[in-house]
Amino acid sequence: MTDTDIFGKQVPILIRNVSLNGKIQEIYLDGTGMIGAVGEKITDHDAEFIIDGDGATALPGMINMHTHSPMGLLRGYADDMQLFEWLSTKIWPTEAHLTEDDIYWGAKLACLEMIRTGTTTFNDMYFKMESVGRAVDEAGIRACLSYCMIDGGDHAKFESEARIMESTVKNIRSLHNPRVMPGVSPHAVYTVSEEGLAWCAEYAKKEQIPLHVHLSETEQEVADCVAAHGMRPPAWLDHCGVLFEQCIAAHCCWLDAGDITLLAKRGVTAVHNPISNMKLAGNRALPYPEMKTAGVNVALGTDGASSNNALDMFSEMKTAAILQKFFWNDPTVMPAADALKIASQNGAKALGLNAGVIAPGRLADLILIGRNPLNVPFFSTDSNAVYATSGLAVSTTICDGVILMHDGVIPGAEEIMNKAGDVASDLVRRAAQA
């Protein structure tokens, strides 16, 4: 095979001379999307392509557990604002002009950025998700895609949103691509009615698919929920049936001890989004030490690229680890190994994926970090990955046993960047004229 032949094909691959957990190893991908073997010397293989890692570090692909992929079109469009003002004066009026084509190119850009920075799976919540599904299908990455229900307490709106949710799940399934999975997303307790929340919970359970929701992102959200329902947001979601094992709750900043006990009891996954929370000045970090002690599955996400403003899980890991230390005034909180685990294994667990670890029998979703100054000296894989490395140091990204990026090259990248830039400018121009 020549170098250009390696992209986009699920064939047996042998990766030689990579550092895995501090040891030089070989990794064999069996050509069916799985890791076939890991060892010092693999002789029994039928590899059609051999990658010489040249001492690169192998890591599981990052799993971004909370994002809104098309929002990259609004990267840098509105910054330095309070969450509600940002949403109501800038984001929502512009989103009202989004077309299916805009969303497709926004998602293409997000997939490109994630592949470039070492993410192989993402959990997404937005609108017109069939367009996102098409982009994910083409990009070769893995994703759980949910239509975001917002009914504002209006029954007629709830009915129409529920029908869109059902058709989105059906349409995503009709792609017949196991990499592209459907989910369900009621936006938050302050934008979705009791009937909307209860319907989403029942529907997700019936379809056995994940439910993805924003939870306790701001102090205001908690105060408003208590005023409206006499309960804090987790108790209100529980009252509506939303807290169950496939529930993935993003942010989880303003939680008290009772909230944490409830999330642990229900088996909910909580997603830490430290950069978005700090940028929007939420004034609280997800209470990681208490959640870890309580046994809550904590995962990691970037949120959308308009509030982050990137989808780089390496930046997110470093920020998560140092924010937790700073916030709790304790440098032992969230060691590097924990940061890597919440960015990989814990997300895989929440989505029911056999991924997040490089071992035989696991999905062949992995990345290589090529030799670069940030990786020298090499005392600790975890430390270098979390505290020193940037996503742009990722040299090779493999998802489902298919090479999506090699030596920093992603076929078609230039066209996607050009087109997404044009689409974003046109969107903002249309919104300004309205």
State the binding site for substrate: 95, 187, 217, 303
Q: What distance in Å separates the CA atoms of residue 127 and residue 112, rounded to the nearest whole number?
A: 19
Query: Nearest approach, Cβ of 68 to Zn ion (angstroms)?
Result: 6
307 touching ligand LTUXU72L, by CB under 6 A: yes
Query: Nearest approach, Cβ of 197 to ligand LTUXU72L (angstroms)?
Result: 15
String marking each residue 208-247 x if it binds ligand LTUXU72L according to CB under 6 A? ------x--x------------------------------
Q: What distance in Å separates the CA atoms of residue 390 and residue 341, rounded to the nearest whole number?
A: 17
Q: What distance in Å separates the CA atoms of residue 191 and residue 205, rounded to the nearest whole number?
A: 21
| CB 162, CB 175: distance < 8 Å | no
Cβ-based nearer residue to ligand LTUXU72L, 39 or 76? 76
Query: Nearest approach, Cβ of 87 to ligand LTUXU72L (angstroms)?
Result: 6
CB atoms within 10 A of CB 52: 11
| Stretch touching ligand LTUXU72L by CB under 6 A, among 49-57, 301-309, 350-358, 390-398 | 301-309
Characterise 426 by phi-psi region: left (phi > 0), alpha (psi -120 to 50), beta (else).
alpha
Nearest partner of 401 among 65, 61, 136, 1, judged by Cα: 61
| CB 197, CB 189: distance < 8 Å | yes
Helix (H) or strand (E) holding 238: helix 233-239
Give the residue ranges of the annotated binding site for Zn(2+). Answer: 66, 68, 214, 303
Query: Nearest approach, Cβ of 73 to ligand LTUXU72L (angstroms)?
Result: 11
Location of structure tokens 């929701």: 213
Query: Nearest approach, Cβ of 304 to ligand LTUXU72L (angstroms)?
Result: 5
| Residue 397 interacts with, from Zn ion, ligand LTUXU72L, none (CB under 5-8 Å by kind) | none
Report residue 141: phi and psi, to 5°.
-85, 175
303 touching Zn ion, by CB under 5 A: yes
* Residue 12 three-state SS: coil
Query: Nearest approach, Cβ of 91 to ligand LTUXU72L (angstroms)?
Result: 4
Cβ-based nearer residue to Zn ion, 30 or 303? 303
DSSP string, 400-425: TTEEEEBTTB-TTHHHHHHHHHHHHH
| Helices and strands counted in the chain (H then E) | 16, 15
Query: Nearest approach, Cβ of 396 to Zn ion (angstroms)?
Result: 29
| Residue 307 interacts with, from ligand LTUXU72L, Zn ion, none (CB under 5-8 Å by kind) | ligand LTUXU72L
Nearest partner of 179 among 132, 109, 213, judged by Cα: 132
Q: What distance in Å separates the CA atoms of residue 4 and residue 128, rounded to the nearest whole number?
A: 33
| Residue 92 interacts with, from Zn ion, ligand LTUXU72L, none (CB under 5-8 Å by kind) | ligand LTUXU72L
| Alpha-helix residue ranges (DSSP H) falling in 295-412 | 313-327, 336-342, 345-351, 381-383
Q: What distance in Å separates the CA atoms of residue 196 and residue 143, rounded to the nearest whole number?
A: 24
Size of the residue set binding Zn ion (CB under 5 A) = 1
Select the residue interacting with ligand LTUXU72L from 51, 68, 286, 350 (CB under 6 A): 68
Beta bridge partners of 145: 124, 182
Query: Nearest approach, Cβ of 132 to ligand LTUXU72L (angstroms)?
Result: 11
Torsion on CA atoms 70, 76, 79, 85, rounded to nearest 10: -40
Q: Where are the beta strands (DSSP E) in 150-242?
A: 180-186, 211-215
Query: Nearest approach, Cβ of 276 to Zn ion (angstroms)?
Result: 7
| Stretch touching ligand LTUXU72L by CB under 6 A, among 24-32, 300-308, 316-324, 406-414 | 300-308
272 touching ligand LTUXU72L, by CB under 6 A: no
Q: What distance in Å separates the CA atoms of residue 156 and residue 161, rounded to the nearest whole number?
A: 9
Residue nearest to ligand LTUXU72L according to CB distances in the complex: 148
Cβ-based nearer residue to ligand LTUXU72L, 74 or 112? 74
Size of the residue set binding ligand LTUXU72L (CB under 6 A) = 15
Nearest partner of 237 among 253, 216, 251, judged by Cα: 216
| Residue 187 interacts with, from Zn ion, ligand LTUXU72L, none (CB under 5-8 Å by kind) | ligand LTUXU72L
| Stretch touching ligand LTUXU72L by CB under 6 A, among 89-97, 356-364, 365-373, 386-394 | 89-97
Select the residue interacting with ligand LTUXU72L from 130, 221, 259, 303 (CB under 6 A): 303
Cβ-based nearer residue to ligand LTUXU72L, 28 or 105? 105
| CB 328, CB 315: distance < 8 Å | no
Question: Interface residues with Zn ion (CB under 5 A)?
Answer: 303
Question: Interface residues with ligand LTUXU72L (CB under 6 A)?
Answer: 68, 87, 91-92, 95, 125-126, 148, 187, 214, 217, 276, 303-304, 307
